[in-house]
Amino acid sequence: MRLDILTILPKLLEGPFNDSILQRAQEKELCEIHVHDIRSFSTDKHRKVDDYSFGGSAGMVMTIQPILDCVKSLQKERNYDEVIYMTPDGEQLKQNKANHLSLKKNLIIICGHYKGIDHRLRENIITMELSIGDYVLSGGELAAAVLTDSIIRLLPGVLNDETSALTDSFQDNLLAPPVYTRPADYNGWKVPEVLRSGDFKKIQEWQENQALERTKQLRPDLLEGED
């Protein structure tokens, strides 16, 4: 898989992509992550990428030319499955969307700034708009990093235990059950006996029941529409 991320702050993405799971995934050549500085595509002598909003609204808007030229330069080299724009008013990112995108080959992710990008880009080149929550960040970089992590960790071979991602919260519209590790008794706080029983069937039933109960208590919205 290849992800191309367009931003005006490329240094902001160095940390998330150069450590931990995302770093290892790239070292294993399971994915490629390329960060592109939108300013380098600007035809303005000062590398300007924004301008005032028509209609007199407050705040600046990212202009069409540098973003469009960057996207077109990438599309000349390969076909892209999606051109994604990170925006607070986009579809909320959920696990099933990450699952869907992890099956793709090439993705472009555009990070907005200021009041966002010129709407004509959204009408003509953007194929998917995503949000990581109902709040506003200073820019789309952190949201793009969240999206990238949620996708890459699902690729075969990225996690040491390849079944680990399948038991994460939200994979089946349920929260994950509680997890415990050694020691079995610490400060009088004990691990549930069933988890130490060695009875796989009982353990699985306990985990399923716990997942359902936690979802009912903490995120009942996930069960809406379920029988």
Strands (E), 120-188: 128-131, 185-186
Q: State how far the Cα of 223 lies from the Cα of 101, in Å rounded to an integer.
A: 23
Q: State how far the Cα of 162 lies from the Cα of 156, in Å rounded to an integer.
A: 7
SS3 147: helix
- Give me the domains of the chain, ranges plus CATH numbers: 2-152 (3.40.1280.10), 169-223 (1.10.1270.20)
Determine the pLDDT at residue 172.
75
- The answer to whether residues 54 and 23 touch, using CB atoms and an 8 Å cutoff, is no
SS3 72: helix
Q: For the chain, which ranges sit under pLDDT 50?
A: none
Determine the pLDDT at residue 151.
97
8's tokens? 């005006």
Determine the pLDDT at residue 173.
82
Taking the mean position of all CA atoms in its chain, how far away is CA 51? 29
Each residue of 156-194: pLDDT tens digit?
999 876 555 555 555 678 898 999 999 999 999 999 999
Determine the pLDDT at residue 157.
92
Which residue pairs, CB below 8 angstroms and at least 24 apart, start in 13-19?
13/141, 13/144, 13/145, 16/145, 16/148, 16/149, 17/145, 17/148
Determine the pLDDT at residue 226.
58
- The answer to whether residues 92 and 133 touch, using CB atoms and an 8 Å cutoff, is yes
10 Å CB burial of residue 224 (0-12, 13-18, 19+) is exposed
Task: Tell me the pTM.
Answer: 0.88
